[in-house]
Amino acid sequence: MTDRFSSFFDVFAPGNVVHNSDVFTESVKLAVPHVDAPPPYSPTLKSVLTVVTAKPLDTVSGDAPGSYLTYNAKTKLNIRGQGTVVANCTGPLALLFAFSTNDSSKSTLYVQVSETTVDFWYGPSPPQGSSGFLPADKVAIEGQPMAQSTSSYLRPDMPYPARYWLSVDHKNGILRFGRDYANLSMAMYQAELKQRVPPGVYHWKNEKFAFIDELTTVSVQQTGGSPTAAPLQLVYLPLPVVQKLPPIILPNDVITLEQLATGSATVAANLSPECQRLYANVAGSKIELDTEDFREFSKAIERSVNTEGLLCQTMLKNKSTEFGPDDYKSTYLRITLGSDLGNSPGAPFVLEIWPALHASPIHNHGDSHAIIKVLHGSIKAYYFTSLYDAVPIGPPANLSRGDVTWIDPNNYQVHQLSNESRDGSICCTIQCYSYGAKDLRHYEAFDYVNDDTHKIIHHFEPNSDMSFLDFKAAIKKEWQERRN
């Protein structure tokens, strides 16, 4: 079993890239910047996250040299010395994070980010009531760019909100800065401040870093922006960004110690409660296509997809302009199970049918949680940093019948699914979606990259090509009539 999933070991390792293929023909185009407009965090999420919306300190027309719009926001760290702070903002020229303790005599941690640099320092605490303070006698903390880093840390020219995050992890002694989704694959810069000492514990390399154990508040100042854009929002997450969760879920009675050690697979219990609930719905052995009442269901679907005039191919051809200019290769079928209950983008359960050499656009999932199980055939899942950059991260996950993968608001949100079979074999997956239990924003669309321009983001409202029971009955009738 270890060998089966060995390709998932450290999928975001340096040097891993997405290669051209029959479907994924021009990976170089993905380096072209796209327009991305991730919706800002809603203040209604306060029951889950700490969300603070800033007010502008100084609204300046920009006519005076050196004068910029500035925002300042402040929030508490609910757990001392740890957490991830997300600054959701538009057009920043610079961001300054200042993490302080309750004792003004102790040092403050300063992190300044510009378009091309990230700097960590510690130094005297800011004066009471000050904003944007950076002491002259600050001391530099050595940091290093991460493997996935680029030369640009901020996006001052992007007219939409972007997320910039800073993770403080006092237990492991690691500071990390990243962009977009708050997970390790998006980290761009870090400093490691602890070292392992006998008998196998971690101590600060310099005792002057010990104040980080006691950090209780953070203030963030944004320099630059637009008076017409949404103001800076500050989001506090109680856990730091520490590890990469692999995309593959295995049953807890199957996963091995080796797989846990290498990080090549995980179990549902490590995921969000929403993913756990969705997994419990579809992971069972009876969730399959070829059931006792219709043993040839998958074969009949494949015939219908590949035969002119039959139901599936007709529906696919009718959808050829769904994602822009006429492109049959971008089509797939969405067969829905049950009703839209209002807690997911579209119906919570969708049977998706992927013809050979067809692929979805690069898209996100409205910050929802999701479980995807392969019921028939195989498919590749390519992952990307965001819709704005659409930079591939790691090789694709190669998913085959029985494999289960997952999505949550901070992991694997931007992907492309691609059936690269050369022999006409279809792939069928069951896709399950849910908003977070206390997410009251409910972004009701999947945003995707227009495959023609590679620059324009469109919004896809999850639809239904047919209900599952009607579809199964129609395919069964088509199959029974094939000899006529």
Q: Where are the domains of the chain?
A: 3-31+245-480, 43-237
**Cis ω on the peptide bond leading into residue 199 (within 30° of 0)?**
yes
**Where do the H-state alpha helices sit in 307-449?**
311-318
Q: Which residue's structure tokens are 């057009």?
A: 91
Worst-scoring range by mean pLDDT, 32-41, 437-446, 470-479? 32-41
CATH architecture, domain 43-237:
Sandwich (2.60)
Do 3-31+245-480 and 43-237 agree at the fold level? Answer: yes
Partners of residue 353 on adjacent β-strands: 333, 428
Grade residue 42 by pLDDT with cuts at 50, 70 and 90. Answer: very low
Mean pLDDT, rounded, for 160-166? 89
Strands (E), 194-337: 194-197, 201-204, 217-223, 233-237, 248-249, 333-337
Lowest mean pLDDT across 65-74, 276-285, 455-464, 473-482: 455-464
Question: How does residue 453 score in pLDDT terms, banded at 50, 70 and 90?
Answer: very low
Check residue 239 and report its DSSP letter: S
Please state the pTM of the whole predicted model: 0.77
Q: What is the pLDDT of residues 322-377, one digit of tens each?
A: 666 667 788 889 999 987 676 666 678 999 999 999 988 888 767 789 999 999 99
- Give φ, ψ of 434 to 5 degrees: -160, 140
Select 3-31+245-480's CATH number: 2.60.40.10, 2.60.120.10, 3.40.50.10490, 3.30.365.10: 2.60.120.10
